Amino acid sequence: MKPAAFDYVAPSSLEAAVAALAAADGDGKVMAGGQSLMPLLNFRMARPSLIVDLTRIPGLSFIERRADTIAIGALTRHAELEFSELVAKHLPVMAAAMPHVAHLAIRNRGTIGGSLSHADPAAELPMLAVFYDATIRVQGPDGRRDIAAEDFFVSALANCLEPEEIVFEIEFPVLTSHTGWAFEEVARRFGDFALACIAVSLGLREGRIADARVAVMGVADTPRRLREVEASLRGTEGGPDAATKFASAVRACLSPTDDIHVSAEYRKSLIGSLAEKAFATAWARTAGVRP
């Protein structure tokens, strides 16, 4: 189908974009790469009166190292993250995840700010934001505020932004003490939204797990960090045999539902299998083994 009619502005500053959005009185929609919004417009599931195109705003596309973080501009395209040496070096789980984000033509247009704002529960970037405990920076009519990724995603396709707020930067803490990590995802077709997905990262001290990070997506209405599982790993000896126990712990705190693609039981079984594989890979990496 074709989109319903709308007006279109492409402001050259974030402030002007916020003002345009505020003037639309809740009926405006922000567009960055458009790779989630355009299908909604084409299907007429979204019928905004105004599109505010952010892509003419300078200075919102960058990947830069700060003290212990990597800061990423909201208009940074997925393909730029995929091919970034900074990301590969400091955010290895993101680097591993990026080829799974849709297809090359989508990654060439889609942006991180757009993906986070769209808040698809089976999309990689929202999950990575939760996994890394990223800070999402937004601009509104009254200035700027920081939002923790875990507070940002409210439910499927819903975030905590006010209608006139716009994401302009995301800051990802580097997991400096972590030496082993893994990212596992299964989708119906490579590049499609995940049926289930898990990311694991481990930091060791004196042979024991000192710090763990675990996040999942595709199995709840938002991406979820599994803090209870992380806590249960802390202080344990790890090892390849711990993978099965880890998988049970992951499964135990999730209650996925049936949907058009697969049953809840399948999804629960799948996330367990992925968890087992991910833990084994992450553990092997702590010992310097490259899978």
Partner 1 sequence: MKMDIAVTVNGRKYQARVEPRLLLSDFLRDTIGLTGTHVGCEHGVCGACTILVNGDSVRSCLTLAVSADGMDIVTVEGLGTPDQLNALQNEFRDKHGLQCGFCTPGMLMTGMDLLKKYPLASDDEIREGLSGNLCRCTGYQNIVAAIRAAVGLRDGSVR
Cβ proximity to partner 1, 74 vs 147, nearer residue: 74
105 touches partner 1 by CB under 8 A: yes
Among 13, 43, 155, 158, binds partner 1 (CB under 8 A): 43
b/e 119-145 (16+ beta carbons within 10 angstroms → b): bbbbbbbbbbbbbbbbbbbbbbeeeee
Quick note: the x/- pattern for partner 1 over 185-214, rule CB under 8 A, is ----xxx-----------------------
- Applying CB under 8 A, the span of 57-65, 98-106, 167-175, 272-280 interacting with partner 1 comes to 98-106
Which DSSP string do the residues of 53-122 spell out, in sequence order? E-TT-TT---EEE-SSEEEEETT-BHHHHHT-HHHHHH-HHHHHHGGGSS-HHHHTT-BHHHHHHHT-TT
**Hey, is 52 helix, strand or coil?**
strand
Cβ proximity to partner 1, 33 vs 73, nearer residue: 33
95 touches partner 1 by CB under 8 A: no
Kindly list the distances between the CA atom of residue 71 and the CA atoms of 29, 118, 130, 135, 228, in Å, as whole numbers in the listed order: 25, 20, 15, 9, 28
The residues in 48-77 that bind partner 1, with binding defined as CB under 8 A, are 51, 53, 55
Cβ proximity to partner 1, 41 vs 262, nearer residue: 41
290 touches partner 1 by CB under 8 A: no
41 touches partner 1 by CB under 8 A: yes
